[in-house]
Structure 1
């Protein structure tokens, strides 16, 4: 599993922050090229087929092989190499691509107990408008969420799930002395990076080979509200992380939002603790 930062040559890759650095300077890189690099580096020394690389990066979207070649070429240009003399990305004819450079792992100098500071780095997003017609819903959710610990707001796009989640979290801010962390998952598409992404957005750093277990240890005995917004595009991965964290912690509460067409797991927390968000009453 990917640690906090990976160094190769003069470059440093921080997957959870989606950063590629040369020295201390951040490099501009497209999101697809960065996803390709993260996958290749995370499995350095392994030949990854073109079909698998496409499925990991584009996730259920049909793309032509030429699209992958274009992004690989862009990535090589950023890394300063050519296909004739690859230092980092080797094309294995008939098989796929392989990251061939030596990699060193960087870890955080702070101890695990110091690493996570929920609520200290990222305040709740501001609501653009005053909430109207949601008071009864918020009153009920305010009572239910602390008791259930894991609840998903479900509804079609634009119905106001994120607005309700932010308003509810704001109401409950005094209920969680450990803080509230709002994590927008719309910006991540690689499920393998989900746990590290959540921890980083919440103000933490994970460095162990089992990031989900480490995150659960850091959150155990902490009264924290974790808001996971826009889960619909990776609902299965989020369900595994959320259910594991709830099972392995004592005071953590998770509030998630997801589209109404999500395929919820039949026996999981996500299936039996849903709240259908409807249009506000007038």
Structure 2
């Protein structure tokens, strides 16, 4: 689907859609046909006969109809800006007098499957998962923030898997932590979603390709490119009303539509609960330690003889699973 960009406008002839920024501008079908002919050949004079043949193929109409529709296009482009954009050439026709950039973006194929993995078992985060799920139901951009290793990614994947059924095109994960150059993020996202982009402005083309999509995008490890992530998130959400974004970061994105959830460390047992294995085992930080220890050393178990030592280790880690 080809899009033409000029000034603050985008025009998609195939959909007869004119946008000022991200806001649709009303334009009639005949006027759209005339505008398409002009932007396809910017700077060139198109005769009145050429334009009329494009807008009224096979019909004989009065030249006044062309004049009326050109006036409608100029008005749609913003009055004075429209007058500067479409220049009448006496005795010949009209030409489009502002620079035009054309690009093509192919929407994601329906055969491509979402990239969201199955996360590890969730320990001690049921309340957090429920809270974030509620936030996603009310807001289109939710960011989980917390210290490194606190479990933001695992929680985001868990929530996204639960929420994926509510999105026609599922949930998708992009790890920003493996992208060293923020300028490459939009291209990496397009590749992950299966969007083919032929344009200098990859983000604009990607936003257009996703306009009719209903999906949850998980942006992981955004702290390395906060400003670019916020720009991408805002542009995509403005262009595609069916998109939602769940981000993880050590800091808030500070994007316009963002809602933040601060993820605390896992709950630690108080000293009084570290005297017996039975009491200590009720706390999420201990549960996660035991799960990880069992995965690495089969046969490991918590008992009254080692409970104080294991509690001390978890307390040293401040309840952060991977520190």
TM-score normalised to structure 1 length: 0.54
* 1:127 partnered with 2:113: no
Count residues with an aligned counterpart: 166
Q: What is the CA–CA distance in structure 1 between the aligned matches of 2:119 and 2:214, rounded to whole Å?
A: 24
2:229/2:253 contact within 8 Å kept: no
Residue of structure 2 equivalent to 1:269: 257
CA-to-aligned-CA distance 1:112-148 (integer Å, 9 cap, x gap): 44x41489345322323x1121111111211211320
Residue of structure 2 equivalent to 1:116: 108
Q: Moved runs in structure 1, 4+ residues, more than 6 A?
A: none
CA-to-aligned-CA distance 1:43-74 (integer Å, 9 cap, x gap): xxxxxxxxxxxxxxxxxxxxxxxxxxxxxxxx
Matches for 1:1-282 after TM superposition, within 5 Å = 112-113=105-106, 115-117=107-109, 120-128=112-120, 130-259=121-250, 262=251, 264-265=253-254, 268-270=256-258, 273-281=259-267, 282=283
Residue of structure 1 equivalent to 2:61: none
Bigger CA radius of gyration? 2
Unaligned runs of 5+ in 1: 1-107
CA-to-aligned-CA distance 1:146-180 (integer Å, 9 cap, x gap): 32000111000000000010000010111011121
Q: What is the CA–CA distance in structure 2 between the aligned matches of 1:132 and 1:165, rounded to whole Å?
A: 13
Residue of structure 2 equivalent to 1:47: none
CA-to-aligned-CA distance 1:65-97 (integer Å, 9 cap, x gap): xxxxxxxxxxxxxxxxxxxxxxxxxxxxxxxxx
Shift of 1:200: 0.8
SS at match of 2:198: coil
Q: What is the CA–CA distance in structure 2 between the aligned matches of 1:218 and 1:147, rounded to whole Å?
A: 25
Segment drifting more, 187-196 vs 237-246: 187-196
1:184/1:229 contact within 8 Å kept: yes
2:140/2:257 contact within 8 Å kept: no
- Higher RCO (CA 8 Å, separation ≥ 6 residues): 1
